Chains A and B, each alone.
Chain A
Amino acid sequence: MKTVLLLALLSLCGALGDVSLAKGMKQVGALPTLRPGALLVLGSKMARNGAVLVGLLSLIAAFLTFVVLLSWADLSFIVPATSLHFVLATLGAKWILQEHINRLRWFGTILVGLGVALLALPS
């Protein structure tokens, strides 16, 4: 039960982190080069962007939950089980945001759900 609750928390924080970070990085702008100076400028812009900060905090929360989970569960179980956040994101998009979900996305969501169910089978 403890594992299921923490997996749910991990999935929620991961989904929020991905979306916020993607939104924030689009606002910050593309990285023109990998030179240290450009990286510093980008880092400074990221530190002042609200969506990036929300994304970072969510991903830090997801990371801490992940580390705690690793203390008692297998890596080969925990990492694929985090894909549950794709299922949560699709259900949230449909029922909360009222978005149209096409058939291919539903098919992918079902495959991910079935995959997580197979992972949960006792070894």
Chain B
Amino acid sequence: MKTAVVLLLALLAQAGGNVCLSQGMRQMSAASQLGSPAIVALLLWGLANPTIWLGMGLLGVFFGLYAAALSWADLSVVLPATALGYVLNVACGAYVLHETVTPARWAGVLLIGLGVGCMSWSVRRPALTGRTIGDL
């Protein structure tokens, strides 16, 4: 239960942080025109933007909660929660940032969520099987 609550808070902080970062970076309208040598200048410019600081703070909260969850639960337990994170981030992109999310993109995100879920479960299965054989 503790892991589920902490992971849910972590995912909400991550989605909020990403929305703030995206908004902050979009405030730099010339960013898309910059070439690779200007990437450092772009990052320095970003450090002066309060929305980006808020986003970084929320992502810091995410990192702390994620690391705490990893300290008491296996990565194969924590990882499936990240599948929900993809859907949450795309929903924030669509409904908060008003990005155009096509049906194909929604389908892609659902496939990714299912895929990450399968991969996580594939890590857990051998451990469960091993324990059963050991018990016998």
Contact = CB atoms under 8 A, between A and B. Distances in A.
Contacts of B107: 115, 118
A105 interface: yes
B113 to A, nearest CB: 8
Contacts of A110: 115
B22 A116 contact: no
B102 A121 contact: yes
A71 B52 CA distance: 12
Contacts of A121: 102, 104-105, 108
A58 to B, nearest CB: 13
Given A68-B43, A112-B115, A102 B125 contact: yes
From B32, B99, B108, B121, residue with most partner A Cβ within 10 Å: B108
Contacts of B123: 105
A108 B118 contact: yes
Contacts of A29: 71
A28 B70 CA distance: 11
Given A29-B71, A80-B89, A107-B118, A68 B112 contact: no
A112 B111 contact: yes
A108 B25 contact: no
Given A67-B46, A105-B122, A108-B115, A119 B105 contact: yes
Determine the main DSSP class of B at the interface with A. Answer: helix
B86 A79 contact: yes
Contacts of B114: 108, 111
A33 to B, nearest CB: 10
B116 A112 contact: yes
24 contacts: A25-B70, A34-B68, A46-B67, A68-B42, A68-B43, A70-B26, A71-B32, A72-B32, A75-B22, A75-B93, A79-B89, A79-B90, A86-B119, A105-B123, A112-B112, A113-B115, A114-B111, A117-B108, A118-B104, A118-B107, A119-B104, A121-B105, A121-B108, A123-B104
Interface of A: 2, 18, 21-22, 25-26, 28-31, 34, 42, 46, 59, 63-64, 66-68, 70-72, 74-77, 79-80, 83, 86, 90, 102, 104-105, 107-119, 121, 123
Interface of B: 18-19, 21-22, 25-26, 28, 31-32, 34, 36, 39, 42-43, 46, 52, 59, 63, 67-68, 70-72, 75, 85-86, 89-90, 92-94, 97, 99-102, 104-105, 107-123, 125-126
